[in-house]
Structure 1
Amino acid sequence: MLLRLPESVSEAQECMAEGAVPVGGATLVWAGWQRDGFPEQAMSLRNVPEATVIAPGTLGGAVVLNRIDERVPEVLREAAASVGTGAVRRTATVGGNLVGSTLRCLLPAALVLDARATVLEPEGARETDLAEVLAKQHLLLSLHWSDPVTSAYRKLAGEAGGPPPFVVAGAVHRGPDGHHRLRLAVRDGYEVLAGAAVCDAGPEEALTALRDTAVGTLNDDHWEVVRRHATDLLARPAVR
């Protein structure tokens, strides 16, 4: 297998056009390749600046998880820190986790940030939403968002060999009209649910509104986790 390391978006386009398979951090594809056979060409974006950027409001798809730091919101930073072991976080990438993984630990955090994605295709780079990225398994070049007022992430303890642990992510955004809006997303099993509500009057008003969203379909135990998470988040000084 030939591993190609393009150093620009245009070089990456050429690799894709010539059939190179995106490899990410190889934490998810390697076992499958060992079983089914290796492709003739693979491609890593780790030398492409647009795919390795970490800056306010931007995170590259080829960034490995253990490099995510205070330059990104708390919710995304904590989500990355919760993935696997230290060894996994040193090789797994943002794009691999969001697009290639069935667990998608970063997805709830990206949803509450209302993130948009820049994807790379043989014809060039373009912006789209996360729903299209996941549905069409696009090659993620980078994520972009407007920083929230505050955010938080929580993953419950899981059982070895059991279902994926329950995850809740939340972020408060100030809209152009000056009103605060709470965005919440959860991972329940392998399903990710999201909802949003105005939260100027406090957590009870927001939680009542969230009951009418997909998040409101959770069982009582998980809804209680969401309630506590939202209440704690809206009690932060930055929101008052």
Structure 2
Amino acid sequence: MLLRLPTSVSEARECVAEGIVPIGGATLLWATWQRDGFPEQAMSLRELPEANVIGRETLGAAVVLHRIDDRVPEVLRAAAATIGTGAVRRTASVGGNLVGSSLRCLLPAALVLRARATVLDADGVQETGLAEAMEAKGSVLLSLRWNAPAASAYRKLPGDAGGPPPLVVASALHTDGAGHHLLHVAVRDGYDVRDADADCGTGAATALDTLRATAAFGDLPAEAWDIVHEQTTRLLGDAGLA
């Protein structure tokens, strides 16, 4: 297998146009390739500057998980820190987790940040919604971008080896230029990820009632709802909105 390492967007675009298989850290692909055979060529973005950014409002798809630090919001940092073992986090990438993994452990955090995706396809660099980027064929995720939240929280319950994915609850409090507050919450229950938001102008109790009334959270398991309640109360209380 020939591994292509583009150092510019134009080089990466050529690889996409040629249909070369993109890989992240290959932590999940390697076993599949050993079983089914390796492609003739693959492409890694680890040398592409646009895919290696880390900042308050951006994160590159080629960034390996152990590099995610306090430059990004707490919810995203905490999510990355709970994925796999230290050895996995030194290899697995943001893009591989979101696009190449059925677990998509970073997805709840990205959803509550209201992240947008920058992707590369045969037509060039485009910005699109996160869901579209994860499902699109013939494009490669370059980075995520979001507006920094006022505060955020993350909790992942312990899981059993070989069992279903553990429960995850992520939340972020957003404030616009006019001082309007919006809480966004996401829950991963098994392989299902659901999210909803609520206006926070009249306090935590009203925000929780709003979340409970949404189609996404109306049948939320009690264990998950308890964590949603705790995070909502804490984030709004710390912000003086309780």
TM-score, normalisation: structure 2: 0.95
Structure 1 residues 180 and 102: CA distance shift in structure 2, 3 A? same
Match for residue 25 of structure 1?
25
Of all paired residues, the percent bearing the same amino acid is 65
> Residue 235 of structure 1: which of 230, 234, 237 is its match?
237
Describe how 1:50-65 pairs up with structure 2 within 5 A: 50-65=50-65
1:89-112 C-alpha deviation (Å, 9 max, x unpaired): 000000010111111110000000
Aligned equivalents of 2:4, 2:142: Cα separation in 1: 16
1:112-160 C-alpha deviation (Å, 9 max, x unpaired): 0000000111221100001111222542100000000000110011122
Aligned CA-pair RMSD: 1.4
State the secondary structure of the residue aligned to 1:216: coil
Describe how 1:182-201 pairs up with structure 2 within 5 A: 182-201=183-202
CA contact (8 A) 1:216 1:223 kept: no
> Residue 227 of structure 2: which of 220, 225, 228 is its match?
225
Q: Amino acid of the residue matched to residue 232 of structure 2? A: A
Aligned equivalents of 1:136, 1:82: Cα separation in 2: 27
Describe how 1:143-158 pairs up with structure 2 within 5 A: 143-158=144-159
Structure 1 residues 64 and 197: CA distance shift in structure 2, 3 A? same
Structure 1 residues 239 and 56: CA distance shift in structure 2, 3 A? farther
Moved over 4 A (4+): 237-240
Match for residue 124 of structure 2?
124
Describe how 1:68-147 pairs up with structure 2 within 5 A: 68-136=68-136, 138-147=139-148
Q: Which runs of 5+ in 2 are unaligned?
A: none
More divergent stretch after superposition (113-122 vs 215-224): 215-224
Aligned equivalents of 2:240, 2:31: Cα separation in 1: 45
State the secondary structure of the residue aligned to 1:217: coil
CA contact (8 A) 1:185 1:215 kept: no
Aligned equivalents of 2:13, 2:128: Cα separation in 1: 18
CA contact (8 A) 1:173 1:180 kept: yes
Q: Amino acid of the residue matched to residue 184 of structure 2? A: R
Q: Amino acid of the residue matched to residue 66 of structure 1? A: H
CA contact (8 A) 2:59 2:145 kept: yes
Structure 1 residues 2 and 69: CA distance shift in structure 2, 3 A? same
Match for residue 217 of structure 2?
215
Q: Amino acid of the residue matched to residue 194 of structure 2? A: L
TM-score, normalisation: structure 1: 0.96
Shift of 1:173: 0.4
Q: Which runs of 5+ in 1 are unaligned?
A: none
State the secondary structure of the residue aligned to 1:215: coil
Match for residue 163 of structure 2?
162
